[in-house]
Amino acid sequence: MKIIVCMKQVPDTTEVRIDPVTNTLIRDGVPSIINPDDKAGLEAALTIKEQVGGTVTVVSMGPPQADVALREALAMGADEAYLITDRKFGGADTIATSYTISSAIKMLDYDLIIAGRQAIDGDTAQVGPQIAESLGLPQVSYVERIEKIEEDKITVRRQFEDRYQIVEVKLPCLITTLSELNEPRYMSVAGIFGAYREKEVKKVTFEEMKEYVSEERLGLKGSCTKVKQSFPKQAKGKGTVHEVSEDEAVEIIMAKLIEKNLI
């Protein structure tokens, strides 16, 4: 089974703060991590490989620093890693991103593509389905469990708000995974050693892809949406905070509930 895992390096959003003066994100000192849903996808791929054999190839589009995330994937057990990186790819929205990634994937061999449901920085959940569309593959998103893997098909449990479906889909196909799917393994010491000494992260730049893509569909130019404005979430006017005895606290709350007609 040849499995491709799509992965994104993201800032750990729990650590991101807004600079109150410039109103911009403070990314300094914020650690970068493998996006949690993607890491679950990688774990699923490695598990499938252990069960039925095959290869796991990770692909990531991003700046050169994303190399670290790909090395981590190699250290966890992935066989090959590709970093899709070029200034021409920068500023891409989800449509341009999925076009770029799917074009790179067309250069590879696969039976199954796994992407995380969504990335914690953008939270769009769009790139996986859009890659599937570009490649003309069937998709199942929101996968919370892999039920069965067979030579020519996979059976998964697909989550909805109020139900789940057990869905069987023929390979090749694309699934998107939820972080609840599994507990990703840690990198092994030997794995880390191998990831830096033996394995390599292959760079895919515009040069390698130019015969397969039309340049106007890449990056900022190829995007169909534009950020017009960004701003920190407005905090509403600060309320009052009371450090008083328990009985006084109850009195204060009661007064408010009555005033606001809430009881």
Partner 1 sequence: MENKYENIVVFIEQRDGEIQKVALEIIGKARELAEKLNCKVIGALIGYNIKAKAQDVIAYGADEVAVVDNKLLEHYATEPYTKAVVKVIETLKPDIALYGATAIGRDLAPRVSGRIPTGLTADCTKLEIEEGTNALLMTRPAFGGNLMATIISTGPRPQMATVRAGVMKAMKRDDSRKGEIIEIDAGLTDADMNVKILEVVKGENKSVDISEAKILVSGGRGIGKKENLSMLRELADELGGEVSVSRALADAGYAEKALQVGQTGKTVHPNLYVACGISGAIQHLAGMEDSDFIIAINKDNTAPIFDVADLGIVGDLTKIVPKLTEAIKKYKAENAVK
Ligand X SMILES: Cc1cc2nc3c(=O)[nH]c(=O)nc-3n(C[C@H](O)[C@H](O)[C@H](O)COP(=O)(O)OP(=O)(O)OC[C@H]3O[C@@H](n4cnc5c(N)ncnc54)[C@H](O)[C@@H]3O)c2cc1C
Contacts of partner 1 in 160-219 (CB under 8 A)? 160-170
Instruction: Pick out residues in 18-47 that bind partner 1 (CB under 8 A).
Output: 18, 25
Q: Enumerate residues 6+ apart whose C-beta is below 8 A from 107.
A: 204, 208, 209, 212
Stretch that binds partner 1, among 59-67, 73-81, 201-209, 250-258 (CB under 8 A): 250-258
Q: Enumerate residues 6+ apart whose C-beta is below 8 A from 73.
A: 5, 7, 34, 42, 58, 81
Residue choice 86, 125, 192, 205 for contact with partner 1 (CB under 8 A): 125
Helix (H, G, I), strand (E, B) or coil at 86: coil
Nearer to partner 1, 169 or 181 (CB): 169
229 binds, among partner 1, ligand X, none (CB under 5 to 8 A by kind): partner 1
Please check whether residue 157 is in contact with residue 165, taking contact to mean a CB–CB distance below 8 angstroms: yes
Helix (H, G, I), strand (E, B) or coil at 56: strand
152 binds, among ligand X, partner 1, none (CB under 5 to 8 A by kind): none
14 contacts ligand X (rule: CB under 6 A): yes
10 contacts ligand X (rule: CB under 6 A): no
Residue choice 51, 65, 138, 186 for contact with partner 1 (CB under 8 A): 138
Nearer to partner 1, 107 or 220 (CB): 220
Q: What are 189's two structure tokens?
A: 């010491």
Nearer to ligand X, 38 or 111 (CB): 38
Residue choice 120, 131, 174, 204 for contact with ligand X (CB under 6 A): 120
| H helix or E strand, kind and range, residue 209 | helix 206-209
197 binds, among ligand X, partner 1, none (CB under 5 to 8 A by kind): none
* Alpha-carbon gap, residue 257 to 263, rounded angstroms: 6
Please check whether residue 209 is in contact with residue 222, taking contact to mean a CB–CB distance below 8 angstroms: no
Please check whether residue 94 is in contact with residue 130, taking contact to mean a CB–CB distance below 8 angstroms: yes
Nearer to partner 1, 197 or 226 (CB): 226
Residues engaged in binding ligand X (CB under 6 A): 13-14, 120
